[in-house]
Chain A
Amino acid sequence: MKKRKSSGLVWTIILTIAALLWVYPIFMILFNSLKKESAINTASAFSLPVPDTFAGFENYINAIGSKGFLSSLTFSLFITLTSVAAILICCSMCAWYITRVNGKLSQILYYLFVFSMVVPFQMVMFTLSQTADRLKLNTPWNIWVIYLGFGAGLAVFMFCGFVKSIPVEVEEAAMIDGCNPLQTFFLIDIHILKPTMISVGILEAMWVWNDYLLPTLVLDIKKYKTIPMLIQYFRGSYGKVEMGPMMASIMLTVIPIIIVYLAGQKYIIKGVAAGAVKG
């Protein structure tokens, strides 16, 4: 018994070191973003800021004040919220229908959705951006239609898995009591599906928020930039990249994610595990 305890301690120490190494890249960006522009260079990248090189929040103020950061943040937030809301409502309804109504149509739809999950984005990227242009779906206000279409596969697939586990009797009872299908779904099933909604919502939100290629191709880059587009643009367009504000903007996009994660990690980790079991 004693031996086991000490080996447990050894493993805890090893894991602690691994965990520290794991978060190191983020901390490195954090403390470099607090240095003065002149003090950021490859030779001293691993040293902490000292009073001489400490710049306070100057880089952060520059990054937030720079053209486009706040509007990018707003676009990213808006696109993520509308897309995830659309995916959750539309796909859960669709999944409920195709699990409850058996028939050729449901089956074909189901397999099409599953198929779409495997197809790489490069297959459709050109034609999708052209379709979006033609249908005027190329603004942040309605790009959610595209996200709904391209993200439907995973969402419908996951919802189908969970709807199967809801007893039909509950719904039949509601129907006998006079509910129409819409009422049955919105008054009964939606509550049973709540945990799944959270899981699917988190997975889709992570995807939309971090997505780079789809908005780059669909949106007009001169007018609208999401956060990943802004970071890529930041790097690509200047002759000399200003490292300070660059690292500050990286931190500004990473910190909210970490806060959301720490607040909702119970759901996020559950969502990942649940998504995988059904996937």
Chain B
Amino acid sequence: MEKALKRYAPIFVLPTFLAFVIGFILPFLQGLYLSFCKFTTVENAQWVGISNYIAAIKDTSFTDSFTFTLMFTVVSILAINVIAFALALLLTQKLAGTNIFRTIFFMPNLIGGIVLGYIWQILINCILSITAQPLLALNKPAGYWGLIILMCWQQIGYMMIIYIAGLQNVPEDLIEAAFIDGAGKWDALWRIKIPMVMSSITICVFLTLTNSFKLFDQNLALTGGDPNHTTEMLALNIFQTFYARSGMQWKGYGQAKAVIFCALVILISMLQLRATRSREVQQ
């Protein structure tokens, strides 16, 4: 069969492959090259060596946005996964109305980041003005917690679905056997359920990690980096470097930042996958 199939390779593989070259491989390689250049368009690039990288690392707005992104990512991973897992546990207990709850908690996930950002901007600004505090545009802590709440609102439902699927795969008799052997509810949770859904935990932590780290739309719509770029995350910082400034040097800096960003995302997600994968148990 393989032989017959090979003759059809152009029909099967070529359309996707060509689009993949145009949409990913070419821009990726070009981006890598341009990070060592000074340019305003792809045509007028001049080689400048690693000076873009040095400028990017020295740029305090970049390092500040890195710290901000890191603080945001850690808190949002914890909050989202703990709450989503708790909800999944509750919703696998055969309570009344489980399906309705599942439907409602998942719903915000379908709304796009820009729209979500504005919904919460309106809501948070109302709360802030009623309690006589500065609005989002001038209030960094509110911007930070607003982003976290927004991220939780959007992602908890999605992760909950994954955890529910994981929990439903834990064999009933395993838990019954544990109860017969004298285990309590907490033992069953910590010693059986959590180890058995470790693969779901790997996926959910991976997804929340990459989603939080790469967050852009929500950041743009909710705070736009205000006040004074202090709530700017890495992706938004890179975008601003590219498009909000004029001058030959900025696009090169932006591209260098993007390469660093890309390397960070790959590195952190690999580390995370390795750390949680090693705890998974085979059924």
Q: Does B21 reach chain A (CB closer than 8 Å)?
A: yes
Contacts A97-B13, A145-B19, A171-B1 hold; do A277 and B258 have CB atoms under 8 A apart?
no
Residues in B with CB closer than 8 Å to A257 are 110-111
6 additional A-B residue pairs with CB within 8 Å, beyond A8-B96, A90-B15? A93-B11, A101-B9, A109-B17, A124-B24, A126-B34, A126-B255
Contacting residues, chain A, for B115 (C-beta < 8 A) = 210, 228, 231, 250, 253-254
Residues of B contacting A102 in the complex (Cβ-Cβ under 8 angstroms): 2
* Beta-carbon contact of A94 and B13 below 8 Å: yes
Surface stretch bound by A, among B48-56, B187-195, B262-270, B275-283: B262-270
Beta-carbon contacts of B193-226 to A below 8 Å, as 1s and 0s?
Answer: 0000000100110110010011011001100000
B113 at the interface (CB under 8 A from A): yes
B180 at the interface (CB under 8 A from A): no
Q: Considering the complex, which residues of chain A in the window 85-125 have a beta carbon less than 8 Å from any beta carbon of chain B?
A: 86, 90-91, 93-94, 96-98, 100-102, 109, 112-113, 116, 118-125
Main secondary structure of the interface of B (DSSP, over half): helix
Per the bound structure, the CA–CA distance linking A2 and B103 in Å amounts to: 29
Q: List 17 A-B contacts (CB under 8 A).
A: A42-B125, A90-B15, A93-B15, A97-B8, A120-B261, A120-B265, A121-B235, A122-B216, A122-B239, A131-B26, A131-B27, A149-B23, A168-B1, A180-B4, A212-B216, A227-B112, A247-B122
Question: What 1/0 mask marks residues of chain A from 244 to 279 whose CB sits below 8 Å from any chain B CB?
Answer: 001100100110011001100100110011001101
B31→A123 contact, CB < 8 A = yes
Contact of A209 among B105, B112, B251, B259 (CB under 8 A): B112
B98 vs chain A, min Cβ distance (A): 9
Contact between chains at B20 and A42 (CB < 8 Å): no
Which residues of chain A in 170-222 are interfacial with respect to chain B, using CB atoms and an 8 Å cutoff?
171-172, 175, 180-182, 185, 206, 209-213
Task: Given A12-B96, A43-B130, A128-B23, answer yes or no on A120-B214 (Cβ-Cβ < 8 Å).
Answer: yes
Cross-chain contact B129 with A149 (CB below 8 angstroms): no
B82 within 8 A of A: no
Contact with A along B151-170 (1 / 0, CB 8 A): 00100001001101100000
Q: Are the C-beta atoms of A46 and B126 separated by less than 8 Å?
A: yes
9-residue interface stretch from A15-23, A58-66, A67-75: A15-23
- How far, in whole Å, are A123 and B6 apart by their CA atoms in the complex? 34
B123 interface hit (Cβ, 8 Å):
yes
What is the distance, in angstroms, from A49's C-beta to the closest C-beta of chain B? 15
CB 8 Å contact bits of B109-151 with A (1 = contact, 0 = none): 0111111001110110110011000000000000000000000
Contact, CB under 8 Å: B107 / A123? no
A209, A227, A228: most-surrounded residue (chain B CB, <10 A):
A228
Question: A171 to chain B: which residues have CB within 8 Å?
Answer: 1
User: Within 8 Å of chain B (Cβ to Cβ): is A237?
Assistant: no
Let me know if B47 is at the binding interface, CB within 8 A. Answer: no
| B12 at interface, CB cutoff 8 A | yes
